[in-house]
Chain A
Amino acid sequence: MSTTTTAHHEEHAEHPTGIMRWLTTTNHKDIGTMYLTFALIMFFVGGAMILAIRAELFQPGLQLLNPEFFNQLIGVHALIMIFAALMPAATGFANWMIPLQIGAPDMALPRLNNWGFWLLPPSAILLTLPFTLAMFGIGDGALATGWTFYPPLSIQGGIGVDFAIFAVHLLGISSVLGSINIIVTLFNMRAPGMTLMKMSLFCWGWLITAFLLVATIPVLAGAVTMLLTDRHFGTHFFDAAGGGDPVMFQHLFWFFGHPEVYILLLPVWGFIPQILETFSRKPMYGYKAQVYSFWAIGALSVVVWAHHFFTSGMPVPALLYFMYSTMAISLPLAVMFFCWIKTMWKGSMSFETPMLFTVGWIILFGIGGLTGLVLADVAADAQYHNSYFVVAHFHYTLFAGGIMGIMAGTYFWLPKMTGHMYNEKLGKLHFWLTAISFNLTFIPQFFLGLAGMPRRIPDYALQFAEFNMISSIAAFVLGLSQLIFVYNIVSCVKGGKKATDRVWEGAHGLEWTLPSPPPYHSFSEQPTVK
């Protein structure tokens, strides 16, 4: 048996080089690297779009963009950041780390894994191609409805909507394939002795995320397909003149859209406690409580969708139900916050870059969560809804809670992945610049929203000028400081101080028992977990 295994491995070792290595690879680490690289590139594409918007909003009046182009940028910015930056980044970590954390040689379905990744670049092209086509006089540019595709505006829209619908289909297929792979891997490839309740929290977070994706992506795909047939084949799902209802689209969209928030956050909630226990040098507090909280949040996330459109009109009992069920999400979240802080409490803490990002993440995500609690109130929501208050709120959850979490994870695992230490000074500089400029970008937006500035407007009344100016300046600082991140990653990949196997003094888990970087087939001998 052992001889055949060795022969098998040697055969695999002769993998193609150059571009063919990446096109045909079925290796979880190669695919993970591709996901992460793709996410980083798209993070900058989406970022460049929002900087164009912030430049336009720097002062009242139209200076740079016309309103049509402005509307295209806001929607595509969101789609890229959510589907092409945050989700691939989380999937990249899943590919890299899940086999390492459960002691498996690779993912369960390697070919599917390859396909899942290679669907992403075409969909990114589909999303952005209409911009280029418009330059040559074909069509009138990209999707201009915001990322939510609300009809009838999306039925009225140009070819950009069709391109975005197909992009969403491809992205959806990619996500579902990735999720199936993760579920199958987690259920079948765990090392002997690793029961489900011994799995790392990151694996747990991803397991719930994967189930949510499999449950909700088909609803989104169905909704946008109905939109497509409304646009081109004479159906009337969302057209009142034919017996349809535009608000039904909002229900379908947010049935996907709300779980999507937790799809983006659960993987981060998974590795944040792992970073905390590492740098607090004591085991995490309340592992079971956190796993159960994941379940609770996963279950609640699919039954609260209508709080995204309280002002669309619905019966009073529905308003009350969605308000109270939304407030209930604060309970499992509070349990998690309690566990995070208890993990730090009486630890022996040190503050390397991943820990800095994690602590900053807890504070900023806390602001996002608490403003979310306020938003759940139906009456107050009539004021907050579609104002800049909401924009600020969801950037606290998705930029701070999502992207800054991903950054913490990047610094945490980069030495393991590359075998080199990153530059600690630059990492800390990156953190402080990001945290400060992020707050200066979005705190003014809370006040803009309260003062009555609607979102998605290309030009605004004079009373909003000062806050917008501060926000724009800070947004550029925020954008430019991400160049430090890229520089740090690239130089870490190229070389640097050798990382030890354990990397961090307080690291727990199977991934730290392998050399840095880990061998091509991770665990060639199955580890046993006691």
Chain B
Amino acid sequence: MQVFKKIGLGLFAFLASLNAYAEYSWNFPEPVTPMALDTLHVHNKFMLITMAIFVVVLAIMIYSIFAHRKSKGYKAVADKAPSTAVEIFWTLVPFVILLLIDFVIMGIPAYHSVIMMEDTRDKATMVVKVTGSQWRWQYEYMDGDAKGIKFVSNLSTPKEQTDKGFDGKKDEQYLLEVDNRLVLPVGEKVRILMTATDVMHNWWVPQFGSSRLAVPGFIRETWVQVDKAGTYRGQCKELCGKGHGYMPVVVDAVPMNEFKVWVATKKEELAKADAGADKEWTKEELVATGKGVYDKNCAVCHQVSGAGLPPAFPALTGSKAVTSPIFGEDGKYLKDGHLDRVLNGIRVMPGWKALLNDTEIASVITYERNALGNSVGDVLQPAQVKAARQ
């Protein structure tokens, strides 16, 4: 027994020392939506009830374990089946208590929570569409002033930090930072439409308390109403392939006036990008822009060097699709050519048609053809991509 004592003391000291400098959380994070608040209340209440049941039952059992021992000379007393009305009554009492707990104390609040959770439309003032793709989120504002704003949100933790064997200092928000955050106004009920382009994803911010599966080919819905300004972080929580751990959700909740300013600037930005599609770009400009697009979107599978991870993710260096002509003699892009692959994808590779704009697609293709060990030499203009989309 001395050994156990030592192990126990050691473990206790270890835990205590961890506690000294770690910030633990023992429960859900601070709720910021009505739904999360409700969930926290339900959770706390249920936990108390189940713990009370557990402790009472455990206490009876432990008493019995210590009192009714053979080593203490306790003689077994045979049980009788309940026969009198009084005995049957006392046998039924626990049953009734349990029915009460299940379907009244727990069941009634649970009913109201479900109704609230599923009521996505009443009093909703705006609609945002969230699309999951391997392995990034796309946001689109569907109505109001912000209508038409649409962007992709990628993990922005530096790649070397997530690489195998990195042992330097990691960012404070390691794996929980993105390049473009979703921005929502405080205090507004936002209806969220959820879908996916390839496999299933699940858009989850623990402080919002809502989570809904994004199913390719279907629209599911949920809602959030963030009541406190701030930045909220979460992650995809449906296994979606090798990048599952690398598609965080970051939401900025800002007051309505700030939201309006953000909408205006974002719209300007998008208009500028659209205008860029019509001008003639030089090869150097395209390659430079393309590197940024490539590293953010393509390098996760095809690798920064273009070597890929065969057999699942082929190399781009010397690849047939990348080095063969893009357009056929009729001026249309060739099936299984470079542009076709990027726009429409194949098997595991997603189509980028809906995720990247003309400039991004033109620049990343030009980059792939003239870097990563390839030197095809040609240039793809954003205008050509625009034409190809029609």
Contact = CB atoms under 8 A, between A and B. Distances in A.
B210 interface: yes
Interface in A331-361: 331, 334-335, 337-338, 341-351, 359
A324 B174 CA distance: 40
A33 interface: no
B229 interface: no
Contacts of B280: none
A458 B172 CA distance: 18
Given A345-B68, A377-B110, A454-B235, 19 more contacts: A61-B161, A68-B312, A152-B200, A153-B240, A156-B348, A241-B217, A245-B218, A330-B98, A331-B102, A337-B57, A343-B79, A373-B50, A374-B46, A386-B238, A440-B11, A452-B29, A454-B204, A457-B245, A459-B162
Interface string B188-225: 00000000001110101010011111011110100000
B65 to A, nearest CB: 7
A164 B379 CA distance: 45
B68 A349 contact: yes
B320 to A, nearest CB: 20
Interface string B231-267: 0011111111111111000000000000000000000
Contacts of B4: 432
Nearest to B113: A379
B169 to A, nearest CB: 10
A246 B200 contact: yes
Contacts of B42: 377, 379-380
Contacts of B238: 150, 386
A470 B15 contact: yes
Contacts of A331: 95, 98-99, 102
A150 to B, nearest CB: 6
A327 B102 contact: yes
Contact of A461 (B50, B99, B176, B240): B176
Given A280-B76, A324-B107, A461-B174, A386 B58 contact: no
Interface in B71-115: 71, 74-79, 94-95, 98-99, 102-103, 106-107, 110-111, 113-115
Contacts of B204: 452, 454
B123 interface: no
Contacts of A374: 43, 46-47, 50
Contacts of A367: 54
A125 interface: no
A488 interface: no
B220 A313 contact: yes
Contacts of B220: 312-313
Nearest to B74: A348
Interface of A: 60-63, 66-68, 71, 137, 139-140, 144-146, 150, 152-153, 156, 158, 239-241, 245-247, 280-283, 285, 309, 311-313, 316, 319-320, 323-324, 327-328, 330-331, 334-335, 337-338, 341-351, 359, 362-363, 366-367, 370-371, 373-374, 377-380, 382-383, 385-387, 432, 440, 447, 450-452, 454-463, 465-467, 469-470
Contact of B202 (A311, A344, A458, A461): A311
B245 A67 contact: yes
Given A319-B114, A338-B94, A460-B175, A327 B103 contact: yes
A457 B15 CA distance: 25
A351 B66 CA distance: 11
Contacts, number: 280
A455 B50 CA distance: 24
Given A285-B79, A459-B162, A60 B74 contact: no
B57 A341 contact: yes
A316 B241 CA distance: 30
B42 to A, nearest CB: 5
Contacts of A385: 211, 237
Given A282-B79, A337-B57, A344-B64, A447 B312 contact: no
Contact of B54 (A316, A366, A380): A366
Given A281-B76, A447-B25, A466-B24, A158 B234 contact: no
Contacts of A150: 200, 238-239
Could you say which of A283, A347, A366 has the most chain B C-beta atoms within 10 Å of its C-beta? Answer: A347
Nearest to B234: A452
A459 B94 contact: no
B107 A247 contact: no
A63 B117 contact: no
A348 B215 contact: no
Interface residues of B, number: 103
B136 to A, nearest CB: 15
Contacts of A383: 28, 36, 39, 43, 206, 209, 211
A457 B236 CA distance: 10
A382 B118 CA distance: 12
Contact of B200 (A153, A283, A350, A455): A153
Interface of B: 4, 11, 15, 18, 22-29, 35-36, 38-39, 42-43, 46-47, 50, 53-54, 57-58, 60-61, 64-65, 68-71, 74-79, 94-95, 98-99, 102-103, 106-107, 110-111, 113-118, 161-167, 170, 172-176, 198-200, 202, 204, 206, 209-213, 215-218, 220, 233-246, 309, 311-312, 347-348
Contact of A313 (B161, B215, B309): B215
17 contacts: A62-B162, A63-B164, A156-B347, A247-B213, A313-B213, A313-B220, A323-B110, A323-B114, A330-B102, A346-B64, A347-B74, A367-B54, A385-B237, A450-B28, A458-B245, A462-B170, A466-B22
Give the 10 A-B CB pairs with smallest separation, nearest first: A240-B217, A379-B113, A452-B206, A457-B245, A454-B237, A370-B50, A282-B76, A313-B220, A346-B77, A67-B242
Nearest to B242: A67
Nearest to B3: A429
Contacts of A324: 103, 107
A500 B91 CA distance: 39
A334 B175 contact: no
Could you say which of B38, B79, B103, B202 has the most chain A C-beta atoms within 10 Å of its C-beta? Answer: B79
A60 B245 CA distance: 12
A62 B26 contact: no
A373 B46 CA distance: 9
A351 B289 CA distance: 72
B165 to A, nearest CB: 7
Given A71-B239, A240-B217, A282-B77, A457 B68 contact: no
Contacts of B172: 462
B70 A466 contact: no
A282 B42 CA distance: 42
A67 B68 contact: no
A489 B199 CA distance: 46
B65 A359 contact: yes
B117 A60 contact: no
A239 B106 contact: no
A382 B211 contact: yes
A344 B241 CA distance: 49
